Amino acid sequence: MTLSSKLAIVFLALAAAFAGGASAQTAGDPARGKTLYFDHGCYGCHGYQGQTGARNLVGTNSPIIAKPEVFLFFLRQRGNFLPMIPSTAMPRFSEKALPDPQALDIYAYIKTFKLDAPDVASIPVMGQIEASAARAYQAGR
Amino acid sequence: MSNDADTRKLVGRRGFLKGAAVAPAAMAVSAPELADAQTRVAVQAAAAASAGATAVPAPTPEQVARETSATPPQTPTPTVKVPGSDLMVEVLKRLGVEFCTSNPGSSFEALQESLVNYGDKPNTMPEFITCLHEETAVDMATGYGKAEGKPMVALLHGTLGLQHASMAIYQAYYGGVPMVIIAGRDDGFIQAHTANDMAAMVRSFTKWDAHPKTLPEALDVLQEAYRQAITAPTGPVVVILDTEIQKAEGAGVAIPTYRPPVIPGIDAATAERLAARLLAAKNPRLSVGKLRTPEGVKNAVKLAELVGASTATQSTSGPMSFPNRHPACGPGADTAYDFTLGLESGPADVAMMGPTIASIAALRDKMGVAFGGLRASPAPTTAPGGGGSKIGEKIDIDAEASLPALIAVVEKAMTPARRRAIADRVAKNAAANQKATVEGVHKALEAKRVGWNNSPVSLGRIYAELAPLIENEDWCLASPTAFSGSHHRDLWNHDKPYSYLGPQPAGGIGYGAGASAGAGLAARERKRIVINIQTDGDMNFAPGVLWTEAHHGLPVLSIMHNNRAWHQELMFLEFMAGARGRGTDRAHIGSTLRDPFIDYKKMAEAYGVAGEGPITDPNELAAAFKRGIASVKAGKPYLIDVITQPR
Ligand SMILES: Cc1ncc(C[n+]2csc(CCOP(=O)(O)OP(=O)(O)O)c2C)c(N)n1
Ligand SMILES: [Mg+2]
């Protein structure tokens, strides 16, 4: 089993654990969250709309962003090891660096993201690319 | 030594420099220029006074006083019948050197004068290409060398030019890119621009260098430099040319006949052995890496077709490899290969691998720097050239030079029965590879549609929108593409040796803009267009290259991947800050290009390149790309600023 699938199981379990219990968290404000998403550089690895870059934050059915509690847990529990070689992995966000209320604002903003992924068949350019790939090869073009 | 050298000694240029040196401190900055003007006038005076005599007396103080005043100097009489530098240019012409990139410098004034004036068609073969930075001059040679597999010249001014160019030379070395670097040397003029052993500054990262002492020797050396550059391991070489030799009398000096290098290939017995294995195999495969020249690629295709081998390629990650949509290219109908031959690549049962720069690095590294990646490893476990570790038998020989012999044996051993079996396999492989291509493209598109209408623009969309527009053009993707997602890999048809020129050879930023312009030199002569997906950080090291593109009419379409950051570094900093529990909200300091944003359309315009943008709406891309392609096809570079997602 890969590390990421192990993690997925952990977070699914967490999501289940948090299920039902009334949320202690107050809901975040997506407008404030938008500014924070930029200021804390989330856009840097997830794209401005959460769908380009290292990992999509929309349309993935990830348990990590299914509930605010799990999301907060995820932010805090990232390893605080110093990378011996430069890393672009998801940073750890300590309570001090990104307090719960702000993190929840970001969460609220992330939840506003709408997946923008038209069908391949509906994009003319993609149709042309597929047709081109299917065409017989011509040496020297 | 030449008469001219004598002349220079007599006019005592060092004397002038000494004079400049004792000038008040406040004048220190302009002192060299002052010396420059005075010295030139003095030399002209001396030449005029000599009226063609071989040895001339030093000018009297009165003469110097007169000549350094505002009075225009008299026309100097030529001191030689045939300028030595004309012969140097003749050597380059006969070698077929197309271009000479340079930023002007007095240490090669004589050579520059010959380049622009000598010959039936002066300033062609090579054409003097004006650069605004020596780093650009060498990066251009790199782009050209990668695209064509042959050298052009970068002409540099003494110690200064070499230092400005040094990172670009270093990268050319890592990339094994053939080029001839000429540095002018003028020991009588500005002392800070000269050195006894000038090539020493870059010796640790060049393949070969020479400092000829006479004109005949210089002509030989230029030819040897060319041979060295193109012989495996290919790489940058340096020739130091003294002004005395450039200005020496060339009458009676013969241009030596050029002998192309003999690059050893496999012997007859090995050719027989490998041909037999290829022909005996039921399911042979070629693993093709980076060959030296387009000729090598042509022969690799020929061999694959002859023996009906399926083929692995590196053409989507760099130049001079197998066309990625050739019917032979792909997994083939059956992935249980019974014999794999590597051509500068593995994994393979047998791989022919020529020497790489790493094999000579220790020898050249006189300073003991031991550059990372070129250090001699105690027991090499992997084959150089990125072939991986699974190579059954490695033959230390240049694959490209070996192909003709191998092909000849295969052709001779061909029988009608073999031909039939091979034709059958070729058809099956072609069908399977075609299917794999179509499926691969579809899978890629499924991923790239995510974020399709995002603004800032998604990088996948840029490459996708370009695909149908360049499909019927002869294109060269010259910029490194890792930072913009390399979406060409699975969307574009890399059917030329120069389809994609690959990454910064040593990871140095500031390379892409120059390399694209250099590819533009090759493209201009060949009615090709260059696509440059230009990151913003890279652009800003030496943006003056845009002027060179405008000035020389280079067909370079630059599409800004304007993420307003040295984004790779921003991400690293974010992780680092997070690991230390300090938050990522200050990581933008020193890693972003904001406050103010840079206006690339204006930048392009300032240098004479037409441009548009910034584009934030992805639906505007296609029309802009069409305008850009039309412009470059008409010989005018074009820049489109696109505000992009960071990755
Ligand atoms: C000469 C040089 N200086 C600094 C670096 C470190 N460096 C690596 S990536 C990078 C950022 C490149 O920025 P840009 O070209 O805009 O690409 P982006 O990562 O933003 O897509 C830098 C500065 C380098 N590799 N080379
Ligand atoms: Mg950038």
Candidates B485, B401, B501; CA nearest to B451 is B485
Beta carbons of A87 and B575 less than 8 Å apart:
yes
**pLDDT higher than threshold 60 for residue A111:** yes
* pLDDT (average), residues B555-572: 98
Phi-psi region of B158 (alpha: psi -120 to 50; beta: other; left: phi over 0): left
Q: How far apart, in whole angstroms, are the C-alpha atoms of residue B12 and residue B61?
A: 12
A13 pLDDT band, cuts 50/70/90, is low
Q: Are strands B208-210 and B179-185 parallel, antiparallel or unpaired?
A: unpaired
Assess whether the C-beta atom of B510 lies below 6 angstroms from ligand 1: yes
Same domain, B522 and B605: yes
Percent of chain B with pLDDT over 90: 84
What are the residues whose beta carbons fall under 8 Å from the beta carbon of B576, sequence distance 6 or more?
A82, A83, A86, B587
The predicted structure's pLDDT at residue B25: 34
Q: Look at chain B and report how many structural domains it folds into.
A: 4
Q: What is the DSSP secondary structure assignment for residue B637, as one 8-state letter?
A: -
Phi-psi region at A125: left, alpha or beta (left = phi > 0; alpha = psi -120 to 50): alpha
Question: Of B402, B417, B437, which marks where a domain is finished?
Answer: B437
- Closest ligand to the CA of B459: 1
B422: domain CATH number is 3.40.50
**Domain-embedded: residue B629:** yes
Give residues whose Cβ lies within 5 Å of ion ligand 2: B 535-537, 563, 565, 567
Q: What's residue B115's pLDDT?
A: 98
In whole angstroms, what is the distance from residue A125 CA to residue B465 CA? 6
Q: Supply the ipTM of this predicted assembly.
A: 0.90
Find out whether B84 and B247 touch, Cβ atoms under 8 Å. yes
Asked if B239 and B128 sit in the same domain, the reply is: yes
- pLDDT tens per residue, range B515-541: 999 999 999 999 999 999 999 999 999
Claim to verify: residue B432 and residue B455 sit in the same structural domain: no
In a domain, B537, yes or no: yes
User: What does pLDDT average to over chain B?
Assistant: 90
Give A20 to chain B, closest Cα distance, Å.
32
If asked whether residues B536 and B576 sit together in one domain, one would say yes
Distance CA B25, CA A112 (A): 65
| Choice from B536, B566, B598, B641 to test ligand 1 binding pocket (greatest atom count within 8 A of CB) | B566
Please report the DSSP string for B583-620 in residue order: -STTTTTTTB--SSPP-HHHHHHHTT-EEEEEE--GGG
What pLDDT digit, counting tens, does each position of B196-216 carry?
Answer: 999 999 999 999 999 999 999
Could you tell me which residues are beta bridge partners of residue B641?
Answer: B560
Residue B222 and residue B336 in one domain: no
Q: How confident is the model at residue A26 (pLDDT cuts 50, 70, 90)?
A: confident
Query: Is there a cis peptide before residue B596, judged by omega within 30 degrees of 0?
Result: yes
Full residue range of the structural domain in which residue B8 is found? 4-68
Q: Tell whether B213 is covered by a domain.
A: yes
Q: Does residue B530 form part of some domain? A: yes
Q: Is B634 exposed, middle or buried (0-12, 13-18, 19+ CB in 10 A)?
A: exposed
Backbone angles phi and psi of B531, in degrees to 5: -105, 130
In one-letter notation, the amino acid at residue B273 is R
CATH of the domain at B543: 3.40.50.970
pTM, entire model: 0.89
3-state secondary structure of B375: coil
- Measured N-to-C along each axis, helices B158-175 and B134-148 cross at an angle, to the nearest 10 degrees, of 30
Of B424 and A2, more confident? B424
Alpha-carbon radius of gyration of chain A: 19
Co-location of B154 and B214 in the same domain: yes
Per-residue pLDDT of B34-84, as tens digits, reads 344 444 434 444 344 443 334 445 655 655 554 455 554 555 556 799 999
Cβ–ligand 1 distance for B569 under 6 Å, the answer yes
Query: At B348, phi and psi to the nearest 5?
Result: -165, 155
Q: Answer yes or no: do B282 and B311 share one domain.
A: yes
Confidence of residue A25 (pLDDT cuts 50, 70, 90): low
